Amino acid sequence: MELKGINKEIMAKIEKKELTIEMIAVSTAEELVAQIEIEEKDAKKVIKTAQEELGIQPMTALKFLEHESKRGKITTSSTEFDSILGGGIWTQELTEVAGSFGSGKTQLCFQLCLNVQLPVEEGGLGGNAFFIDTERTFSPRRVVEIASYRDFDVEEALSNIFIGAALNTHHLFSIVDELDEVIKEKNIKLLIVDSFASHFRSEFIGKGRLVERQQKIMQIAEKLIALAVKYDLAVVVTNQIIANVEEFLFGSPEEPALGFAWAHRPQQRIFLRKSRGSSRIARLFDSSRMPEREALFYVTESGLSDAPFSSDFYS
């Protein structure tokens, strides 16, 4: 790690504690003083420098561009889908994937759990995945199937995917609260919550509990975004679709669940829907970076792809 203008003595203390730039950038001066025993004024300088380095301090747009171009992306395995996302699923932000039952949300998550392991040149991040499963739909067999069509060592690929079953929202919070260690130790570069919506929707029923539900959703969204920034990883959460009574969001009869407060949290929002046969349509509908666009891709035996499956497609 390099922090411009910070002396060797302080850098040595930082390295000894194995602090990353991300960890420093989100610390308070007090926390840093307690961790590495430096003067408060030095701590403030270190934190400011780390924040500049990460692009979370006021800076010029030119510097921002430089910073953004360094951010990692995970390929979806469909070039068209990648292209509407600006290269794939980005690190340091929260991406929501909404869609009705069978639209391909979980298949995309499986594909990403494998693709994150690829080297950067091949569309990965050379890292591992943590999959928080709330619906018990994680299927190792299906991941094996997809991996076996690609150049993965199947056993190794599976051992790089960590699964946490979240039985209810309370449990989801406790898993997320304990992620720091595992992220550092296991080089996690992709965190998935599939499905993010289900427990919130089944546990907080009725208008009387709506405020409480929204608060919990916001809390966990903040935690997930903080992890994404702190550890430079991609966070993907899936959401269900509900009937849109007011039709204000899309002017269409369906919209992602969890309401208006949630709607502003993800930096990227993707809507998946079924099309003919094994084809699917992804629409990026809310992004500060990319226009609203659609991509056609396929979900077949071999996972996600640009073209329908044929047995010699990958040979």
Ligand X SMILES: Nc1ncnc2c1ncn2[C@@H]1O[C@H](COP(=O)(O)OP(=O)(O)O)[C@@H](O)[C@H]1O
Torsion of CA 297, 303, 308, 309, to 10 degrees: 170
Partner touching 102 among Mg ion, ligand X, none, CB below 5 to 8 Å by kind: ligand X
Task: Please report whether residue 105 would count as binding ligand X according to CB under 6 A.
Answer: yes
Partner touching 299 among Mg ion, ligand X, none, CB below 5 to 8 Å by kind: ligand X
Task: Please report whether residue 106 would count as binding Mg ion according to CB under 5 A.
Answer: yes
Partner touching 306 among ligand X, Mg ion, none, CB below 5 to 8 Å by kind: none
Task: Please report whether residue 305 would count as binding ligand X according to CB under 6 A.
Answer: no
Q: Which stretch binds ligand X (CB under 6 A): 13-21, 46-54, 98-106, 218-226?
A: 98-106
| Positions in 271-290 near ligand X (CB under 6 A) | 278
Q: Which stretch binds ligand X (CB under 6 A): 79-87, 97-105, 219-227, 283-291?
A: 97-105
Q: Which positions from 129 to 148 touch ligand X by CB under 6 A, shown as an x/- string?
A: -------------x--x---
- Shortest distance (Å) from residue 92 CB to ligand X: 25
Partner touching 44 among Mg ion, ligand X, none, CB below 5 to 8 Å by kind: none
Enumerate binding residues for ligand X (CB under 6 A): 99, 101-107, 142, 145, 278, 299-301
